[in-house]
């Protein structure tokens, strides 16, 4: 099943003020004061604007930065990397491919044994879909990475929550 993900005025209009500030105005939320920095539940993180799958809890790790951090996107082409010269530094900004939402930044201080990258994301740019809701929300094809193809929440419920 191929889904189409796109940004439209209706989806942008449903954003909270913080989600809008982060995704549409390139904002950054406060460290340790955001929804997913310490989420250990298995599941999928999608673009809050389009629903495009972005990151998996199987690739999430504890970076001690105060933001949710991942070693890689769930699909490489779901994110776009851009040079960011703001705040008197050179960084790599990460945006969603379909929605052009500002997600966060990419750093080269992630776990070396997993490629060395840290996708440091803003929770306000993400919506979390728990593993037991994947099929109901149209993301059933991602269930396999959590150790099961079944739709019950007991199988694989502890896998992928590496933080």
Active-site residue list: 120
> Going by DSSP bridges, is the β-strand pair 43-47/79-84 parallel, antiparallel, or unpaired?
unpaired
Quote the CA–CA distance of 96 and 82 in Å, as a whole number.
11
CA dihedral 21, 22, 27, 33 (to 10 degrees): 110
Phi and psi angles of residue 120, each rounded to the nearest 5 degrees, phi first: -95, 105
What are the C-alpha distances in Å from 114 to residues 58, 70, 99, 126, 152? 12, 10, 27, 22, 29
Quote the CA–CA distance of 23 and 58 in Å, as a whole number.
24
């Amino acid at each position: 099943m191929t889904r189409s993900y796109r940004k439209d005025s209706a989806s942008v209009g449903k954003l909270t003020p913080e989600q809008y500030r982060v995704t549409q105005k390139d904002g950054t939320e406060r460290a340790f004061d955001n929804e997913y920095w310490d989420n250990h539940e298995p599941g999928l993180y999608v673009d809050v604007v389009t629903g495009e799958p972005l990151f998996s809890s199987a690739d999430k790790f504890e970076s001690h930065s105060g933001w949710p951090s991942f070693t890689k996107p769930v699909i490489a082409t779901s994110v776009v990397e851009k040079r960011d010269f703001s705040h008197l530094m050179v960084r790599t900004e990460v945006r969603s491919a379909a929605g052009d939402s500002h997600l966060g930044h990419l750093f080269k201080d992630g776990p070396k044994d997993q490629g060395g990258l840290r996708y440091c994301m803003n929770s306000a740019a993400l919506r979390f879909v728990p593993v037991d809701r994947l099929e109901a929300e149209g993301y059933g094809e991602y269930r396999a990475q959590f150790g099961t193809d079944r739709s019950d929440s007991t199988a694989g419920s502890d896998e992928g929550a590496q933080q």
